[in-house]
Amino acid sequence: MAVKVRYAPSPTGSPHVGNLRTAIYDWLLAKKEGGEFLVRLEDTDRSPDRYAPESIADIEESLRYLGILPDSWWVTGGKDTPYVQSERLPLYAEIVEGLIAQGHAYKCFCTKERLEQMRQRQQELGIPSGYDRRCRNLPLDDRARYEAENLPYVVRLAMPLEGTCLLKDAVRGEVKYEYRLQDDQVLLKSDGFPTYFLAATVDDRLMGITHILRGEEWLGSAPKMIHLYNVLEWEAPVFAHLPVILGTDRKKLSKRHGSTNFRAFIEQGYLPEALINFLVLLGWSTGEENRELLSINEIIERFSLSGITEHPAIFDYEKLKWMNGHYIRSSQPGRITGLCIPYLVKAGLLSNPPTPEEVAYARRIIPLEQERMKVLSEVVDLVGFFFKELNYPNGYDEKAIAKWMGVAHIKALLEKEIAAFESLPEWTTEAIEAASRAIGEELGVKFAEVVHPTRVATTGQTVGPGLFETLWALGRERTLERLRTVLAHLS
RNA sequence: GGGGAUAUCGUCUAGAGGUUAGGACGAGGGAUUUUCAGUCCUUAAGCCGGGGUUCGAUUCCCCGUAUCCCUACCA
The model's pLDDT over A457-473, given as tens digits with 9 standing for 90+, comes to: 999 999 999 999 999 99
Residues 123-142 of A with CB under 7 A from strand B: 126-131
pLDDT one-digit tens code per residue, A311-367: 999 999 999 999 999 999 999 999 999 999 999 999 999 999 999 999 999 999 999
Is the CA virtual torsion A401, A344, A13, A253 positive or negative?
A: negative
Rg (CA), chain A: 32
Which of chain B's bases lie under 7 Å from a protein CB? 1-8, 10-15, 22-26, 33-39, 67-75
- pLDDT, tens digit (0-9, with 9 covering 90-100), for A396-450: 888 899 999 989 999 999 999 999 999 999 999 999 999 999 999 999 999 999 9
User: Is the distance between the Cβ of A431 and the closest atom of strand B smaller than 7 Å?
Assistant: no
Domain with CATH 1.10.8.70 in chain A: 331-387
Question: Which of A387-391's residues contact partners 24+ apart within 8 Å by CB, and which partners?
Answer: A387/A344, A387/A349, A387/A350, A388/A349, A390/A459, A390/A460, A390/A482, A390/A485
- The share of chain A scoring above pLDDT 90, in percent, equals 89
| pLDDT band at residue A290 using 50, 70 and 90 as cut-offs | confident
Which of the four pLDDT bands, split at 50, 70 and 90, describes residue A295?
A: very high
- Rounded, the Å distance between the CA of A413 and C1' of B8 is 59
Give the number of other CB atoms < 10 A from CB of residue A173. 9
Q: Does residue A247 approach strand B to less than 7 Å at its CB?
A: no
For A284, phi and psi rounded to 5 degrees? -150, 145
Task: Burial-class residue A96 by CB neighbours within 10 Å (0-12, 13-18, 19+).
Answer: buried
Exposed/middle/buried for A323, CB within 10 Å: 0-12, 13-18, 19+?
A: buried
Of A371, A432, A407, A375, the closest CA to residue A486 belongs to A407
The Cβ of residue A60 has, within 10 Å, a number of other Cβ atoms equal to: 18
Dist. CA A266–CA A62, nearest whole Å? 9
Q: How far apart are CA A339 and CA A330, in angstroms?
A: 14
Interatomic CA–C1' length for residue A192 and nucleotide B75, angstroms: 17
CATH code reported for the domain at A331-387: 1.10.8.70
Q: What pLDDT is attached to residue A334? A: 97
Single-letter amino acid code for the residue at A379: V
**Does the nearest atom of strand B lie within 7 Å of A322's Cβ?**
yes
Q: How far is the CA of A296 from the C1' of B44 (A)?
A: 34
Average pLDDT, chain A: 94
Q: What is the mean pLDDT of the segment spanning A356-382?
A: 97
pLDDT of residue A255 exceeding 80? no
Q: Is the C-beta of residue A8 closer than 7 Å to nucleic acid chain B?
A: yes
CA-to-CA distance for A177 and A222, rounded, in angstroms? 9
Closest CA to A309 of A369, A403, A245, A247: A245
- Whether the CB-CB separation of A196 and A188 falls below 8 Å is answered with no
Task: Determine the Cα–Cα distance for residues A107 and A158; give it in Å rounded to an integer.
Answer: 10
Pairwise CA distance, residues A16 & A282, whole Å: 14
Residues 396-425 of A with CB under 7 A from strand B: none
What pLDDT does A1 receive?
72
Whether pLDDT at A33 is above 70: yes
Distance A218 CA to B24 C1' (A): 30
* Residues of A annotated as part of the active site: 255
| pLDDT of the residue at A258 | 67
* CATH 3.40.190.10 fits domain A4-85+245-314: no
Residue type, A355: T
Report the distance separating Cα A464 and Cα A441, nearest Å: 24
Nucleotide nearest to A153 (CA to C1'): B73
Query: Which residue's CA is nearest to the C1' of nucleotide B72?
Result: A186
A260 pLDDT band (50/70/90 cuts)? confident
Position A296 scores a pLDDT of 97
* Whole-number Å distance between alpha carbons of A137 and A134: 6
Q: Is nucleic acid strand B under 7 Å from A193's C-beta? A: yes
Residues of chain A with CATH 3.40.50.620: 4-85+245-314, 88-242
Q: Which long-range contacts (CB under 8 A, 24 or more apart) does A418-425 make?
A: A418/A480, A418/A483, A418/A484, A418/A487, A421/A476, A421/A479, A421/A480, A421/A483, A422/A480, A424/A476
Task: Return left, alpha or beta for A34; rule: phi > 0 is left, psi -120 to 50 is alpha, else beta.
Answer: left
Q: How far is the CA of A204 from the C1' of B31 (A)?
A: 59
- Spanning CA of A162 to C1' of B42, the rounded length in angstroms is 62
CATH class for the domain made up of A88-242: alpha beta
Residues paired with A169 in a beta bridge: A173, A239
- Tell the CATH topology of A398-490: Arc Repressor Mutant, subunit A (1.10.10)
Query: Which pLDDT tens digit goes with each residue over A63-118?
Result: 999 999 999 999 999 999 999 999 999 999 999 999 999 999 999 999 999 999 99
Q: What is the reported pLDDT for A392?
A: 78
User: Is residue A240 within 8 Å of residue A170, measured between CB atoms?
Assistant: yes
Nucleotide nearest to A46 (CA to C1'): B74
Closest nucleotide to the alpha carbon of A221, via C1': B70
Q: What is the pLDDT of residues A175-211, one digit of tens each?
A: 999 999 999 999 999 999 999 999 999 999 999 999 9
User: Mind listing the pLDDT tens digit for each residue in A112-163?
Assistant: 999 999 999 998 888 888 999 999 999 999 999 999 999 999 999 999 999 9
- Cβ of residue A23 near strand B, that is under 7 Å? no
Assess whether A250 (CB) lies less than 7 A from strand B. yes
Question: From the CA of A288, how many Å to the C1' of B57?
Answer: 22
